[in-house]
């Protein structure tokens, strides 16, 4: 992830003043977190992986490559693609912070979403 306009943050970290537009990208609300604590601008619940994919993956790093492939396929759905396009447009105009609940900061859906956004931002600047 190289674009400074798209950053990732765990839901269990403190929000900062320079987070910009904060969007939760989990299908499931993070345990023990309140709306007030997260200070979200939106919850893109429909961008989260399907329950079936999330359960299959189980945050097992050995399944990471296959998870990414399956999740990219899910994100190609027209409705999800529109949500990604909207986030990419926000990122063109300022910082977007993708908030996620997973403990593993390297193997989670926010990384895949960030890659999708980076791809859109790169294509738009070409």
pLDDT digits (tens, 9 = 90+) for 75-123: 999 999 999 999 999 999 999 999 999 999 999 999 999 999 999 999 8
- Asked whether residue 19 carries a pLDDT value surpassing 90, the answer given is yes
pLDDT at residue 2 is higher than 80: no
User: Domain residues of the chain, as ranges?
Assistant: 6-120
Q: Where are the alpha helices (DSSP H) in 58-108?
A: 64-75, 78-93
- Mean pLDDT, residues 61-71: 97
CB 24 within 8 A of CB 38: yes
The string of pLDDT tens digits covering residues 38-54 is 999 999 999 999 999 99
Contact indicator for 86, 41 with CB cutoff of 8 Å: no
Q: What is the pLDDT of residue 125?
A: 75
Return the residue matching tokens 């998870």.
Answer: 67
């Amino acid at each position: 992830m190289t674009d400074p306009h798209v950053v990732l943050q765990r839901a269990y970290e403190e929000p900062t003043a320079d987070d910009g537009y904060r969007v939760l990208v989990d299908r499931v609300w993070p345990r023990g977190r309140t709306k007030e604590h997260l200070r979200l601008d939106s919850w893109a619940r429909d961008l989260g992986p399907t329950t079936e994919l999330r359960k299959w993956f189980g945050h097992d790093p050995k399944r990471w490559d296959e998870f990414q492939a399956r999740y990219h396929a899910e994100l190609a759905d027209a409705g999800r693609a529109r949500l990604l396009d909207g986030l990419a447009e926000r990122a063109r105009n300022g910082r977007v912070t993708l908030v996620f609940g997973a403990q593993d900061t390297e193997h989670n859906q926010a990384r895949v979403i960030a890659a999708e956004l980076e791809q859109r931002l790169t294509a738009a600047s070409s």
